[in-house]
Amino acid sequence: MSCATLAKGLLDLEVARARMIAAAEPIRGEAFVALGQAVGRVLSRDLAARLDMPSIDNSAMDGYALCLAELGERGLAELGERGLPVVMRVPAGAAVSALPEGGCARIFTGAPVPEGADCVIPQERVTLDGEDRMHVRGEAKPGANIRRRGEEYRAGDVLLPSGATLNPAALAMLASQGIAEVPVLPRLTVALISTGDELIEPGEPCLPEQVYNSNREMLKALLEQQGCEVLDLGIIGDTAEALHAALTTARDSADLVICTGGVSVGEEDHVRPVLEALGGLVFHGVAIKPGKPFAFGFLDDGSPEGVPLIALPGNPVASLVGWQLLARPFVQGRQGRTVGPLQRFNVRAGFSRRGNQGRRELLRVVIDWQGEHPVALLSGGQGSHMLRAASQAHGYLMMAADTDVEEGHEYPYLPAGQFVD
């Protein structure tokens, strides 16, 4: 895709997000990893159940298994008076057995229900007399407290589809099927580049004109949180030659390149011209605040067959917003994961504020739950360099362009929790 296709002006957020998702071609390949090493990995194919679940009819609780059909018309009422002898004990892990006629079985959670039993009475509703006869309070129905074989799923059913991310509950389900290793997509290798002569690393002495590189640590953590392998290429000076060399190395070493800084249109901002020389832009500039200088393109010949490049703004909060709303769904798509829509719901504003002209604004807010309704409050200063408010925010109040915030009115709220897993 050549730079001639660059959209004029700033893209709407939803349009830019849709373009990113559409361009996210999953990486190819497959590896088999042990179940204990598979958390966070993405399945490369559907996984089917090997066993019915449950594999046998079993008890849902500790209690007594019996056959209601044997009790006659009076049912449990008669049983409450004369009782029923306890003739066997069935612990979890026991073999399936038959229930003798005229008796009941002491049974425990997960134990196989004896053949002939059609009901389990919870132990809390049972009393035993001196002759070890069981007496019942209340009513019961056939099938009560029995987990039927295959009621959750049957052997051959799809347990998890291709593209599913393996979380701890999924690993437990696979382990319950006896599955010891799983087929997964390769980890996405992401080359990370920080640009700026003013940047230094934490731990180094800092002159007044210098700035510690906060984006590097933030983006490394975010990428690793997504299960990516990070190739950290360090800080690159503000020259076209240095950036050209770094992007060439990144292109030849990674599945995706992410750089921060140098993406605006000043004389020291070299990302766009270097990207155009090495490939091509898909778009540059999104109508959001913070995050406007976001850029996306491809290295090599500039086509989607090349190595994708995401250029994030240098200001750390703008970089964070660009990651959460645009870069993250692209990374997930490249990993073969299903990308869901942005989660949002309306929340009342507990403050008033002038709206931004021409751009959608994402205000960092905390939610106050003390009143009758949740209320959004600013978490601190809203500058794109102000990390304290971003670090404490529960989410974003997303304001349409040219729209003032009026206290007491409701506006769309994006919870930050959706950007974590």
Domain identity same for 193 and 313 = yes
d(CA 384, CA 321): 9
> Domain boundary at 307, 334, 361, which?
334
**Which domain covers residue 89, as residue numbers?**
58-147
| Whether 127 and 207 share a structural domain | no
Query: Would you state the structure tokens that stand for residue 51, as one six-digit string?
Result: 């066993």
Last residue of a domain, one of 279, 314, 334: 334
Nearest to 262 by CA among 216, 190, 211, 194: 194
Domain check: are 200 and 328 in the same one?
yes
Is 80 part of a structural domain of the chain? yes
Does residue 153 lie in a domain region? no
- Give the pLDDT confidence of 188-241 residue by residue, as tens digits: 999 999 988 888 888 999 888 889 899 999 999 999 999 999 999 999 888 888
Q: Are residues 288 and 211 in the same domain?
A: yes
Co-location of 196 and 136 in the same domain: no
**Do both 350 and 318 map to the same domain?**
no
What share of residues in the chain are helix, strand, coil (percent, to 5)?
A: 25, 30, 45
pTM to 2 decimals?
0.83
On whether both 289 and 353 belong to a single domain, the answer is no
Query: Are 295 and 208 part of one and the same domain?
Result: yes
Q: Are residues 201 and 242 in the same domain?
A: yes
DSSP annotation string for 360-420: EEEEEEEEE-SSSS-EEEE-S---TT-HHHHHH-SEEEEEPTT--B-TT-EEEEEEGGGGT
Query: Is residue 317 a part of any domain in this protein?
Result: yes
44 inside domain: yes
Give the CA-trace dihedral at 227, 231, 232, 233, to 10 degrees: -150
CATH number at residue 376: 2.40.340.10
Tokens 């050549």 sit on residue = 2
CATH number for the domain that contains residue 76: 2.170.190.11
Same domain, 358 and 329: no
Alpha helices (runs of H) in 279-347, residue ranges in sequence order: 316-322, 328-334
What are the structure tokens assigned to 339, written together?
């990308």
Q: Does residue 152 form part of some domain?
A: no
**Residue 269 sits in the same domain as residue 361:** no
Q: Is the peptide bond before 54 cis (omega within 30 degrees of 0)?
A: yes
User: Would you say residue 53 lies in a domain?
Assistant: no
Domain boundary among 311, 334, 357: 334
202 located within any domain:
yes
How many structural domains is the chain composed of?
4
Cα 201 to Cα 212: distance, rounded to the nearest angstrom: 6
Verify that 202 and 310 share a domain, yes or no. Answer: yes
Tens of pLDDT along the chain (421 residues) come to: 333 333 348 999 999 999 999 999 999 899 999 999 999 999 999 999 999 999 999 999 999 999 988 876 656 666 667 789 999 999 999 999 999 998 999 999 999 999 999 999 999 999 999 888 999 888 888 999 999 999 999 999 999 999 899 999 999 999 999 999 999 999 999 999 998 888 888 899 988 888 989 999 999 999 999 999 999 999 988 888 888 899 999 999 999 999 998 766 554 566 778 888 888 889 999 999 999 999 999 997 656 778 999 999 999 999 999 999 999 999 999 999 889 899 999 999 999 999 998 999 999 999 999 888 999 999 999 999 999 999 999 999 999 999 999 999 999 999 999 998 7
- The answer to whether residue 220 is domain-embedded is yes
